[in-house]
Amino acid sequence: MSETQAPLLLLTDLDGSLLDHHDYSPGPARSWLTRLRARGAWIVPNTSKTAAELAPLMDSLGLAGQPWIAENGGVVALPADWLSAYPLEEASAPDAHGLCRIAVAMPRDRILAVLEELSGEFAFEGFASMPVARISELTGLGEGDAVLAGQRDASEPLVWRDAPERLEDFRMRLAGHGLKLTRGGRFHHVTGDSDKGVAARYLIARYRLCERVRPWTLGFGDGANDLPLLAAVDNAVLIPGVGDTSQRDRELADYPQLADERRCFRANLPGPQGWVEGLRHWLANGQPEEWTSRGLGA
Ligand SMILES: [Mg+2]
């Protein structure tokens, strides 16, 4: 990348994409992170993890201080500089890394207030009401990790204790408060109306507003919840998933732009190997003409 090119804003899923699904290592992607950072690229993890779970990973990947998106697009952390020209009332004070947190759709305390209101009508058990030992029992996490899983900014996992046929009723009532109910592995998740793509567009828009430059955006993911992210960037890399990918493949039909190989590259290899394969593909083929030195007349 030369000085004349637009800055690169790279948004990536972690588990099964930048990180190996089994050993959580970035493998061959690690040296690329270093190289891209040295050239001034922004590397933005976009994950379903909580901020508390993400923090040690940011450190171990050498990405501390980079922006991030957590809780499936529920919360975004931006460098304070990106907010200085147009401050946001709802942004937190900068943390030790100079990042300010913003709940993109709805902060957890407001989600909990709605759930409190509905708890008289429906039977469910949310993380906020559980002791750590109970979260640990339900998730299979050790106590330390269960504490981190319980520290949330923008979502509430819950176990449904009511009749299955009342779930649709519950969903409708949540929708009346601007909330979504999605099914995860073990839990139902109550969130504001955001996803990895909504949060990515939000972050890119804030960047453009403050830096007054259009970045080249790259997105990486392997799951159904990554498809909105892949649809929100200039060039995407779809990494083969681990295990059953039938839901993802069904949902792909909702994103016709991802069938266009000029927009989305399908990696052959899983995890970080596929991540590197896709990065190399777009570094060789992806930059639109106007972003090359020639296109800028430099
Ligand atoms: Mg993944």
Per-residue pLDDT at 65 exceeds 90: yes
Predicted confidence at residue 16, as pLDDT, reads 93
| Residue pair 159/124 in contact by the 8 Å Cβ criterion | yes
Predicted confidence at residue 295, as pLDDT, reads 42
Residue 156 to residue 173: CA distance in whole angstroms: 16
Q: Do domains 8-104+195-291 and 108-192 have the same CATH topology?
A: no
Domain ranges within the chain, ordered by starting residue: 8-104+195-291, 108-192
* CA of residue 166 to ligand 1 center, whole Å: 31
Predicted confidence at residue 87, as pLDDT, reads 74
User: Tokens 């990918």 belong to which residue?
Assistant: 245
Instruction: Please list the alpha-helical segments (H only) found in the chain.
Output: 29-38, 51-60, 81-84, 108-118, 132-139, 143-150, 167-175, 196-211, 227-230, 246-251, 271-285
Over residues 87-99, mean pLDDT = 89
* CA of residue 3 to ligand 1 center, whole Å: 33
- Give catalytic status of residue 13 as yes or no: yes
* CA of residue 220 to ligand 1 center, whole Å: 9
Per-residue pLDDT at 266 exceeds 50: yes
Which CATH class name applies to 108-192?
A: alpha beta
* CA of residue 143 to ligand 1 center, whole Å: 24
Quick one: pLDDT band at residue 289, thresholds 50, 70, 90?
A: low
Predicted confidence at residue 83, as pLDDT, reads 87
Predicted confidence at residue 17, as pLDDT, reads 96
Residue 266 is encoded by which pair of tokens? 């399908």
Residue 294 is encoded by which pair of tokens? 């020639």
Residue 175 to residue 169: CA distance in whole angstroms: 10
pLDDT digits (tens, 9 = 90+) for 108-126: 999 999 999 999 999 999 9
C-alpha torsion angle, residues 122, 126, 132, 134 (rounded to 10): 50
Predicted confidence at residue 286, as pLDDT, reads 78
* CA of residue 44 to ligand 1 center, whole Å: 14
* CA of residue 49 to ligand 1 center, whole Å: 11
pLDDT digits (tens, 9 = 90+) for 211-249: 888 899 999 999 988 999 999 999 999 999 887 888 899
Which CATH class name applies to 8-104+195-291?
A: alpha beta
Predicted confidence at residue 298, as pLDDT, reads 39
| Residue pair 222/241 in contact by the 8 Å Cβ criterion | yes
Which of these ranges, 130-139, 152-161, 260-269, 282-291, has the smallest mean pLDDT?
Answer: 282-291
Which member of 13, 20, 222, 234 is catalytic?
13
Per-residue pLDDT at 149 exceeds 70: yes
* CA of residue 223 to ligand 1 center, whole Å: 5
Residue type, 92: S
* CA of residue 263 to ligand 1 center, whole Å: 20
